[in-house]
Amino acid sequence: MILKGVTLPNGEVTDVEIESGCISSIKRTTSSGLDCDGLVLLPGFVDLHAHLRQPGFEESETVLSASQSAAAGGYTTVFAMANTEPTQDSPATVQYVSCLGEQVGLVRVRPIGAITKGLQGKELAPLAAMAASSAQVKVFSDDGNCLVNVDLMREALLEVKKFGGVIAQHAQDHQQTVGAQMNDGKLSIELGLTGWPRAAEEQIIARDVELAIETDSRLHVCHVTTAGGVEVIRWAKAKGAKVTAEVTPHHLLLNEELVRSYDPVYKVNPPLRTEEDTFALRRGLLEGTIDVLATDHAPHSKERKECEWQSAAFGMVGFEIAASVLFKVLILEGEGDWNDFARIMSIKPSEIGGLTKIGNPVEGSVADLVLFDPTTSRVISKQTHSLSTNNPWAGLELPGRVVHTMFQGRLTVKDGELVG
Amino acid sequence: MKHLVSIRDLSRQDALSLLSSAQELSQVNERSIKKLPTLRGRTVVNLFYENSTRTRISFEIAAKRLSADVINVSADSSSVTKGESLKDTAQTLEALGADCIVLRHPTSGAAHQLANFGWINSSVINAGDGTHEHPTQALLDALTIQQKLGEDLSEMKVLIVGDIRHSRVARSNAILLGMLGARVEFAGPDSLVPIELKNLAASISNDFDVSIANKPDVVMMLRVQRERMLENFKDSQREYINQWSLSRERLQKLAKRTLIMHPGPINRGLEISPEAAEDPRSVILQQVKNGLAVRMAVLHRLLSEEQ
């Protein structure tokens, strides 16, 4: 197959030929092929943080529906969070999830292993065994159950260091967030909703980067949301800590003012912060303090969101808007370029997740590719390919669109539609 | 006007007109036959997810005086997470003919959701949602002040004392009284009167005695919720009483025309001394009476305009 007239991240316009799942040549040809005039060619996106909900919560999402939604968003690799039922805390479960992904075959599904058994924060899960399994787990996280126990955290960092793994921490000091519902501040007081102090996030990040320095092991900070959090990570990187960080599309673009509607579609953990925080996160991303965009795609069935704010579940869907949000804040409104875009969406996340052979498209590399149209814009509909509709982006107009997605040389999305 | 969810839903004009209609309707409560035919054939449902006998009875009598049919539903708020959802319950009540749902709910925002999410067409009155708002309480307090101190509240000094952080009464009052021109001061321990509250009130005080020395026109004591106080106020109960109770000594320092208010039910000997509660300056029972008038006015406004 030949992709005709693609624009490379560096601006060059050329043709790309795909043979047996790999890029065989990048040069102008006279042969005909798929017209990609005006489309930017990027490496397939890699999402380090998503909830696929299978096994255990199939009413919200399955590996199939999540893979479809991810492919539609330009993803070719998705890291599946460990909070399934049963928990992804054993070789058997991670291999099962990995197999489900292979059966669907739309994206590469890489399970994240739980750090502790059952996400209980009491006893380490068999990390090395999960790493050695066919699922090749490299990323470990207790997700929303932030690992507060300092001894276990240190032990986990030392354990993953042996096989080049990474601990991904959802930074939240639970003592400070009992019953918390939204960002702590004037607005939470006005709305009568329990506040979620910034310190609850920042002090865990601060402690963890110290541990990462002490153990010389790799720490990945999940979904940073505060200006202070960005500062702590900047400091840690300057000290040479092996720390990386992610930000979500919603924390880049949405802010706490939306909570005024009391619509639980805006309820998310960690919470939407202030507009100033969104600006600090954008700067952090551009300068590289924050390494990657990760969706924290968190589908929930209707009844978990159609209820009182305090009873509602935390989380929102995100696969199908992520690229547009980044395009808007990084390129249209920021000073980033397509190389930054590829670094944030694909190259860095694949490095952090321990994947091989994913980078800027070159001859010989695996044909995991996205063709993105930066000239169009679209109004987001509530229903996406996800089984769930907890979609705060519904009705908003966002720039750009994923036109084609290619996974291992095969089109999974063509002209915005799923293939087969 | 279809719903009353927050004082913020009201313009100054709306508020003044509700107050004057409440003043008129309060006459009905003095008659021997205390009934008007206005809402005959209309159905008002009191949907209470929190126990509040006083508020429920007040709404019930108010609706009955306007000849509406009244149904009381007390729902267990623990069923919020397991049993029937608020949406399903409200839709069921509407299918049974409810024209207005009076909602008391422990979750902030519940009344807002019921009114604005397209779940039902009925009118919604917020009878207290979590730590957010309690608009009819604010209206009845404003009416009481008007009756005792004059209709124009401009520059009137209203001191609200206690656990402001968790008080829907304080929030609604601060917004309404501020809108009507009064200068509201919040007073209480730092942990219960966080600085973030300062845009709701004209000023914040952490010394009751200094606030009293400033000669407030109204002192409104909030009910202390014991469990909550112990959780947030780290000193002892005795310490709280020393600093924040309207004691005999403080009572003596109040000016002659200062009103003593309390949304009730009162904890005698805790936030308010028995002497203060029974002082001639105390208008606590007048507040209860005005609750009826205000709720009649609100029901009348929401349900008769809709017809």
Q: Render pLDDT for A19-75 as a digit per residue (tens, 0 to 9).
A: 999 999 999 999 999 999 999 999 999 999 999 999 999 999 999 999 999 999 999
Residues of A in contact with B117 (CB under 8 A): 263
Q: Which residues of chain A have pLDDT under 50?
A: none
Per-residue pLDDT tens digits for A278-314: 999 999 999 999 999 999 999 999 999 999 999 999 9
Q: Are residues B107 and B144 in the same domain?
A: no
Interchain pair B108, A185: CB under 8 A: no
Q: Are residues B147 and B82 in the same domain?
A: no
CA B262/CA B269 separation, integer angstroms: 14
Its domain, for residue B170, covers 135-287
Q: For position B228, what pLDDT does the model report?
A: 67
The residue among A175, A189, A263 with the most chain B CBs within 10 A of its CB, best to mutate, is A189
Q: For position B229, what pLDDT does the model report?
A: 65
Size of interface A-B (CB pairs under 8 A): 61
Q: Is residue A369 helix, strand or coil?
A: strand
Q: Which residue of B has its CA nearest to A310?
A: B107
Q: Are residues B103 and B140 in the same domain?
A: no
Per-residue pLDDT tens digits for B117-168: 999 999 999 999 999 999 999 999 999 999 999 999 999 999 999 999 999 9
Q: For position A292, what pLDDT does the model report?
A: 98
User: Are A381 and A68 within 8 A, CB to CB?
Assistant: no
Q: Are residues B14 and B59 in the same domain?
A: yes
Q: Are residues B85 and B143 in the same domain?
A: no
Q: Are residues B151 and B282 in the same domain?
A: yes
Sheet holding A75-80, edge to edge: A45-50, A75-80, A108-111
Q: Is residue B50 part of a domain?
A: yes
Q: Are residues B64 and B196 in the same domain?
A: no
CA B167/CA A254 separation, integer angstroms: 29
Q: Is residue B2 part of a domain?
A: no
Interchain pair A303, B194: CB under 8 A: no
Helix boundaries (H) for A299-363: 322-326, 338-342, 348-352
Count of domains observed in chain B: 2
Among B109, B131, B165, beta carbon nearest to A262: B109
Residues of B in contact with A310 (CB under 8 A): 107-108, 130
Residue B24 Cα, gap to closest chain A Cα (Å):
33
Q: Is residue B1 part of a domain?
A: no
Greatest mean pLDDT among A270-274, B36-40, B77-81: A270-274
Q: For position B82, what pLDDT does the model report?
A: 58
Predicted-assembly ipTM surpassing the 0.85 threshold: yes
Q: Where is B141: in which H helix or E strand?
A: helix B135-149
Phi, psi (rounded to 5 degrees) for A293: -95, 130
Mean pLDDT confidence for B245-264: 96
Q: Is residue A22 part of a domain?
A: no
Name, in order, each residue with C-beta under 8 angstroms of A193's C-beta and a sequence gap of 6 or more: A181, A182, A259, A309, A310, B108, B109, B130, B132
Q: Of A255, A285, A287, which is closest to residue A270 (Cα–Cα)?
A: A255
CA angle A192/A193/A195 to nearest 5° reads 120
Options A15, A143, A291, A296, the catalytic residue: A296
Q: Is residue A277 part of a domain?
A: yes
Among B81, B131, B199, beta carbon nearest to A186: B199
Q: Is residue B29 part of a domain?
A: yes
Cis peptide leading into A392, omega within 30 of 0?
Answer: no
Residue B108 Cα, gap to closest chain A Cα (Å):
6
Q: Which residue of A has its CA nearest to B133?
A: A192
Its domain, for residue A236, covers 44-361+377-397
- pLDDT at residue B306 above 70? no
The residue among B79, B113, B232 with the most chain A CBs within 10 A of its CB, best to mutate, is B113
Whole-number Cα distances in Å, A208 to A153, A167, A176: 8, 10, 17
Helix axes B135-149, B284-306, angle to 10 degrees: 120
Percent of chain A whose pLDDT exceeds 70: 99
Q: For position A342, what pLDDT does the model report?
A: 96
CA B300/CA B99 separation, integer angstroms: 12
CA A401/CA A380 separation, integer angstroms: 11
Q: For position A346, what pLDDT does the model report?
A: 96
User: Are A255 and A281 within 8 A, CB to CB?
Assistant: no
Q: Which residue of A has its CA nearest to B118?
A: A306
Residue A300 Cα, gap to closest chain B Cα (Å):
15
Burial of A25 (0-12, 13-18, 19+ CB in 10 A): middle
Q: Is A368 a catalytic residue?
A: no
**In B, what residues contact A, Cβ < 8 A?**
80-81, 85-87, 105, 107-110, 112-113, 116-117, 129-133, 165, 168, 171, 194, 196-197, 199-200
Q: For position B307, what pLDDT does the model report?
A: 46
Count of domains observed in chain A: 1
Among B86, B132, B196, beta carbon nearest to A185: B196
Where are the extended beta strands (E) located within A200-250?
219-221, 243-247
- pLDDT at residue B42 above 70? yes
Neighbour tally for B226: CB within 10 Å: 11
Q: Which residue of B has its CA nearest to A304?
A: B81
CA B120/CA B134 separation, integer angstroms: 21
Q: For position B195, what pLDDT does the model report?
A: 84
CA B4/CA B302 separation, integer angstroms: 8
Q: For position B77, what pLDDT does the model report?
A: 56
- pLDDT at residue B227 above 80? no
Q: Where is A205: in which H helix or E strand?
A: helix A198-215
Q: Are residues B68 and B146 in the same domain?
A: no
Interchain pair B131, A192: CB under 8 A: yes
CATH number at residue A318: 3.20.20.140
User: Are A44 and A368 within 8 A, CB to CB?
Assistant: yes
Q: Are residues B35 and B67 in the same domain?
A: yes
Q: Is residue A292 part of a domain?
A: yes
Q: Are residues B185 and B301 in the same domain?
A: no
CATH number at residue B115: 3.40.50.1370
DSSP A8-39: PTTS-EEEEEEETTEEEEES--SS--EE-TTP
Q: Are residues B102 and B146 in the same domain?
A: no
Q: Are residues B169 and B268 in the same domain?
A: yes
